[in-house]
Amino acid sequence: MKPDTPRTHRLKDYRPPAYLVDHVDLDFALDPTRTEVRAALKIRRNPAADAPAGKALILDGEQLELGGVAIDGKPLSPGDYAVDDKTLTIPKVPAKPFTLSLTTFINPEENKALQGLYRSRGVFCTQCEAEGFRRITYFPDRPDVLSTYTCRIEADTALAPILLGNGNPVERGKLARGTRHFAVWHDPHPKPCYLFALVGGDLAHVASTFKTMSGRKVDLKVYVEHGKEARAAWAMDSLKRSMRWDERRFGREYDLDVFNIVAVSDFNMGAMENKGLNIFNDRLILASPETATDANFESIESVVAHEYFHNWTGNRITCRDWFQLCLKEGLTVYRDQEFSADERSATVQRILDVRLLRSTQFTEDAGPLAHPVRPEAFIEINNFYTPTVYEKGAELVRMIETILGREDFRRGMDLYFERHDGEAATIEDFLKSFEDASGRDLSHFKLWYGQAGTPELVCSLAYDKAKKQAELKFEQVLPPTPGESKKKPLHIPVRVGLIGANGQEIALKRETGEAIEDGVLHLTKRTQTFRFSDVPSSPVPSILRGFSAPVNVTFNLSDRELEFLMAHDSDLFNRWQAANTYATRTLVDMVKSLRKGEKPNGRASGFVKALGIAVGLDDHEAAYRAELLKLPSQADIARVIGRNVDPGLIFRAHRQLAKLTGTTLGSLLEGLYDEAKPSGSFSPDAKSAGQRALRNAALTLLTARGTAADEARLANHFFKAGNMTDEQHALMLLAAGSHPAREKALARFHDRWKDDHLVIDFWFAAQAQYPQRPAIAQIKALTRHPLFSLTAPNKVRALVGTFAMQNQVQFHRPDGAGYDFVAKQVLAIDRFNPSIAARMLVAFRSWHTLEAERRAAAKTALQGVAKTPNLSADVYEIVSKMLDQ
Ligand code: ARG
Ligand code: ZN
């Protein structure tokens, strides 16, 4: 496939570094096309290394022009070292600690991979995780080499009046001659180089202060483009709430005099937790009622929190190696989820998190890209910032909390912070802290970190009327994943409840009479039976309450039992789950009927009726009712069907059910739509957002009904919208159908927002999800639109990403035109930004589940990618795994 196959890195090959770097002095002379970087590294042999004394010093470095090397001030001659495109090797270095000085030159303007130092709309910025620092200078670019840093930045004053680094500001001033100035920053906390950052540019900011729990004052600033200051207020507010929350919930205090956030436009990911200087994709900072949706406000809040929380879980305690990525990411996602749950509705937050887990991680786990939460091998680490590492990683932390209980969990966290502060740690260190704090054995639980795949839990219930005994039986089915055919049974905490015929909760008692704490059952064997005594009548079981483990539950509940749970379950998550299971079942049936050319069975009307009752219960908050009204996505149905998938049929079934729901529940939905009408000015708080979500969910279903009045309502919703939440929702609905105002709405949106590079992405995305045949031609034309740019990741995600991930029916066209389009974009992007190219290619991850014609077309497209010369390691790794089935 590739003459020079990229190297695989393995966890089992981990060796401690031969050399450590205690301190790094950096001096940058910023220049758009030729930035000079002078580095002085204080190096010593690692006493803990198993390497022999006198071992060569090997540093990582890529895309660098080397200007000079010196040891303790003495320049080396070219014969004293060797440079290739990945390393600098110095065979002989002093036995005593020494200072290595390096001069390198880099070209930020030309850097479209957006790793290392680059420019985004004129702003110099960096992205070093995972291996970007090696594009700045030669260095042992691995997370277990921790150093303090001093960084001097010099630049033209007009070009970059703002100069920011990690840590605390030390000094700034003008250079004696000319138009340049400088700033010096010092970070006293030892850190791995992936947390290094600098920013230089002409930026505006908003400022505030925070008083920590021990009374220290911290200066907070959020830097944005000039004119966007007002849009940074929500991010600042979120930051302060995050800082307070981490003190209250985990006793974690901030540790520098300043905390800076910078929003940049071109960014490969969401955001980055660089010590004291977080850099964000501006999509995750900028928000105002006119320009951002409630979903944007929500993700800003949670990502600002996420990056802030990394200060303890990631920065002060970092990862020993990249295989341990979940140590910081899974844990920090868990922490940001908990923060959002506390700031908003805990039940709704859980529903959103589980929806995301299922749609992204379960899909990944069921296909060729499945890997354990702690992978054992990778070619390109950038490919492992995955839903498995992040979202499933968070679920593993949550399960530890469920197993230990809240108090012991907190004790374990405290011990982890106490023991490992300032270190590069492992999953073993993390688990040991919980074991030692609680006295519990987590060795069986640890399997979760090494075994890929989503377990299926097959459950059944038997009731013995004479003995008044109920019996719950579980079987763990562990599907094979690539390279791992045999799996061991896991330790699965399953929270359950039994509900009596009167709708009352039945107290859970073992045969011994002993109560079952929190209703948590511990499954540890392949099959296991639990008996409950004193059960007065045949109960309906509520299984996996709060989604206590990342598994699929198979339980043959009847439609009537689901309806019962939708009305009576005291666990609100499981009430929603019952509705979701019912909807999924209905849609799967409808797909079957369509395939056979038969009329749909009666299940759909049963489901819609039950949904109407559940939504009508007015003890539920608006945001929760909105979640009930959202039908499972087409991709969800595809995942559940799992083989021989025909996305065309799923699309039709989905439309049918939406229409039936809109028609049957018409007056209820009209009522909700009218009642939830916002009054007063816009507020982004959870309650107001919930009202808007409910209203928009009702609008979606009413639009599916499709009467003239419904068309008028939608047009009105769009043209009279008072905020972006409503405007964007209506635009998506208008653009997805054949509404008479479709073109007019798109034109108006374009004219109104063409100068706003964030808002216009909604316009690209709305057209990318158009489910009709002309979609591809239109999307191709949009790639030539003056506002589109292949080098801007947000634009690529809005147009190509939305098409490939959301537009199930056109991406999966049987003639392969959708696959062909995406594959071509991937190859074009791979020339300059491999990480984004590889991300887009992931859209093919379920190709093996498709029906034969589409499967063949997808395979052809993937083979075309695979045989292209000079693929990046990123794309090579993804495409080879996908074809390796
Ligand atoms: N650590 C960052 C975060 O979780 C993500 C960085 C991703 N970087 C990458 N090269 N994939 O928020
Ligand atoms: Zn993170």
pLDDT digit string, tens, across residues 532-543: 999 999 999 999
User: The pTM is what?
Assistant: 0.98
> 324 CA to middle of ligand 1, Å?
14
Q: What is the pLDDT of residues 851-870, one digit of tens each?
A: 999 999 999 999 999 999 99
> Domain for residue 178, yes or no?
yes
> 748 CA to middle of ligand 1, Å?
36
- Do residues 779 and 825 both lie within one domain? yes
SS3 content of the chain, % helix, strand, coil (to 5): 45, 20, 35
Q: How far apart are CA 245 and CA 237, in angstroms?
A: 12
- Do residues 758 and 687 both lie within one domain? no
> Ligand 1 atom closest to Cα of 307?
12
Residues 6+ apart with CB under 8 A from 411: 437, 438
- Do residues 388 and 497 both lie within one domain? no
Last residue of a domain, one of 549, 583, 604: 549
- Do residues 701 and 573 both lie within one domain? yes
> Ligand 1 atom closest to Cα of 131?
10
The domain total for the chain is: 5
Q: Which residues pair with 154 in a beta bridge?
A: 29, 182
Residues 6+ apart with CB under 8 A from 786: none
* Type and span of the H or E element at 879: helix 873-883
- Do residues 412 and 535 both lie within one domain? no
- Do residues 18 and 70 both lie within one domain? yes
Beta carbons within 10 angstroms of residue 217's beta carbon: 9
Query: And the tokens for 184?
Result: 């010096």
> 329 CA to middle of ligand 2, Å?
5
Q: What is the pLDDT of residues 627-637, one digit of tens each?
A: 999 999 999 99
> 146 CA to middle of ligand 2, Å?
19
Q: How far apart are CA 274 and CA 189, in angstroms?
A: 12
> 76 CA to middle of ligand 1, Å?
36
> Domain for residue 619, yes or no?
yes
Q: How far apart are CA 786 and CA 797, in angstroms?
A: 16
* CA-to-CA separations, 809 to 143, 494, 613, 652, 656, in angstroms, rounded: 43, 36, 32, 10, 15
Beta carbons within 10 angstroms of residue 94's beta carbon: 14
> 762 CA to middle of ligand 1, Å?
24
> 7 CA to middle of ligand 2, Å?
26
Which domain CATH number covers 380? 1.10.390.10
pLDDT exceeds 70 at position 323: yes
Which ligand neighbours the alpha carbon of 195 most closely? 1
pLDDT band at 273 (very low <50, low <70, confident <90, very high): very high
- Do residues 542 and 576 both lie within one domain? no
pLDDT exceeds 90 at position 452: yes
Q: What is the pLDDT of residue 885?
A: 60
Q: Please state the rounded mean pLDDT for residues 90-103.
A: 97
- Do residues 868 and 771 both lie within one domain? yes
Q: What is the span of the domain harbouring residue 590? A: 558-705
Q: What is the pLDDT of residues 577-617, one digit of tens each?
A: 999 999 999 999 999 999 999 998 899 999 999 999 999 98
Nearest residue to 276 (alpha-carbon basis) of 196, 330, 203: 196
Which ligand neighbours the alpha carbon of 334 most closely? 2
* CA-to-CA separations, 8 to 131, 377, 453, in angstroms, rounded: 15, 7, 22
Backbone φ, ψ for residue 743 (5° rounding): -65, -40
Query: And the tokens for 177?
Result: 């001659």
Q: Return the active site residues.
A: 307
> Domain for residue 710, yes or no?
no
Q: How far apart are CA 793 and CA 348, in angstroms?
A: 30
> 16 CA to middle of ligand 1, Å?
24
Task: Output the residue whose Cα is nearest ligand 1's atom 11.
Answer: 382
> Domain for residue 216, yes or no?
no
Could you tell me if 130 and 273 are in contact, meaning their C-beta atoms sit under 8 angstroms apart?
no
> Ligand 1 atom closest to Cα of 390?
4
Q: Please state the rounded mean pLDDT for residues 836-840.
A: 98
Query: And the tokens for 567?
Result: 């009305």
Pocket test of ligand 1: the residue of 385, 389, 872, 878 to mutate, having most ligand atoms within 8 Å of its CB, is 385
> Domain for residue 153, yes or no?
yes
Q: How far apart are CA 819 and CA 828, in angstroms?
A: 14
Which ligand neighbours the alpha carbon of 331 most closely? 2
Q: What is the pLDDT of residues 734-761, one digit of tens each?
A: 999 999 999 999 999 999 999 999 999 9
Could you tell me if 335 and 401 are in contact, meaning their C-beta atoms sit under 8 angstroms apart?
no
Pocket test of ligand 1: the residue of 272, 275, 279 to mutate, having most ligand atoms within 8 Å of its CB, is 272
Q: What is the pLDDT of residues 66-92, one digit of tens each?
A: 999 999 999 999 999 999 999 999 999
Q: How far apart are CA 595 and CA 641, in angstroms?
A: 13
* Type and span of the H or E element at 92: none
Whether residue 708 is preceded by a cis peptide bond, meaning omega within 30 degrees of 0, is: no
Q: How far apart are the first and last CA of the chain?
A: 16
Q: What SS3 state is found at 792?
A: coil
**Measuring from each residue's beta carbon to the nearest atom of ligand 1, which residues come in under 6 Å?**
129-130, 269-273, 306-307, 329, 382, 385
Query: And the tokens for 194?
Result: 């992936």
Lowest mean pLDDT among 24-33, 162-171, 549-558, 669-678: 669-678
Q: Which residue has the tokens 């540093």?
A: 59
Q: How far apart are CA 156 and CA 334, in angstroms?
A: 42
Q: What is the pLDDT of residues 541-563, one digit of tens each?
A: 999 999 999 999 999 999 999 99
- Do residues 688 and 833 both lie within one domain? no
Amino acid letter for position 783: T
Task: Output the residue whose Cα is nearest ligand 1's atom 8.
Answer: 129
Could you tell me if 146 and 190 are in contact, meaning their C-beta atoms sit under 8 angstroms apart?
yes
Nearest residue to 63 (alpha-carbon basis) of 90, 86, 31, 29: 86
Q: What is the pLDDT of residue 50?
A: 80
> Ligand 1 atom closest to Cα of 314?
1
> 269 CA to middle of ligand 1, Å?
6
Q: What is the pLDDT of residues 702-712, one digit of tens each?
A: 999 999 999 99
Which ligand neighbours the alpha carbon of 335 most closely? 2
Q: What is the pLDDT of residue 619?
A: 80
Q: What is the pLDDT of residue 1?
A: 45
Q: How far apart are CA 525 and CA 476, in angstroms?
A: 8
Which ligand neighbours the alpha carbon of 270 most closely? 1
Q: Please state the rounded mean pLDDT for residues 255-262.
A: 98
> Domain for residue 695, yes or no?
yes
- Do residues 388 and 515 both lie within one domain? no
> 330 CA to middle of ligand 2, Å?
8
Q: How far apart are CA 596 and CA 590, in angstroms?
A: 10
Q: What is the pLDDT of residue 2?
A: 45
Which domain CATH number covers 806? 1.25.50.10
Last residue of a domain, one of 202, 223, 254: 202
Could you tell me if 24 and 147 are in contact, meaning their C-beta atoms sit under 8 angstroms apart?
yes
> Ligand 1 atom closest to Cα of 269?
7
> Ligand 1 atom closest to Cα of 303?
12
Q: How far apart are CA 327 and CA 403, in angstroms?
A: 18
Q: What is the pLDDT of residue 748?
A: 98
Task: Output the residue whose Cα is nearest ligand 1's atom 2.
Answer: 272
Residues 6+ apart with CB under 8 A from 2: 871, 876
Strands 74-75 and 19-29: unpaired
Task: Output the residue whose Cα is nearest ligand 1's atom 5.
Answer: 272
Mean pLDDT over each residue of the chain, to the nearest integer? 97
> Ligand 1 atom closest to Cα of 332?
4
Which ligand neighbours the alpha carbon of 309 most closely? 2
> Domain for residue 491, yes or no?
yes
Total count of residues recorded for the chain: 885
Q: What is the pLDDT of residues 461-515, one digit of tens each?
A: 999 999 999 999 999 999 999 999 999 999 999 999 999 999 999 999 998 889 9
Task: Output the residue whose Cα is nearest ligand 1's atom 1.
Answer: 272
- Do residues 501 and 582 both lie within one domain? no
Look at the alpha carbons of 243, 248, 249, 253 in this order and tell me if their dihedral is positive or negative. positive
| DSSP secondary structure code for residue 585 in this structure | H
Q: What is the pLDDT of residues 667-683, one digit of tens each?
A: 999 999 999 887 789 99
pLDDT band at 434 (very low <50, low <70, confident <90, very high): very high
- Do residues 99 and 132 both lie within one domain? yes
Pocket test of ligand 1: the residue of 269, 312, 315, 835 to mutate, having most ligand atoms within 8 Å of its CB, is 269
> Ligand 1 atom closest to Cα of 132?
10
Which domain CATH number covers 101? 2.60.40.1730
> 845 CA to middle of ligand 2, Å?
23
Q: Please state the rounded mean pLDDT for residues 695-703.
A: 98
> Domain for residue 739, yes or no?
no
Last residue of a domain, one of 450, 479, 512: 450
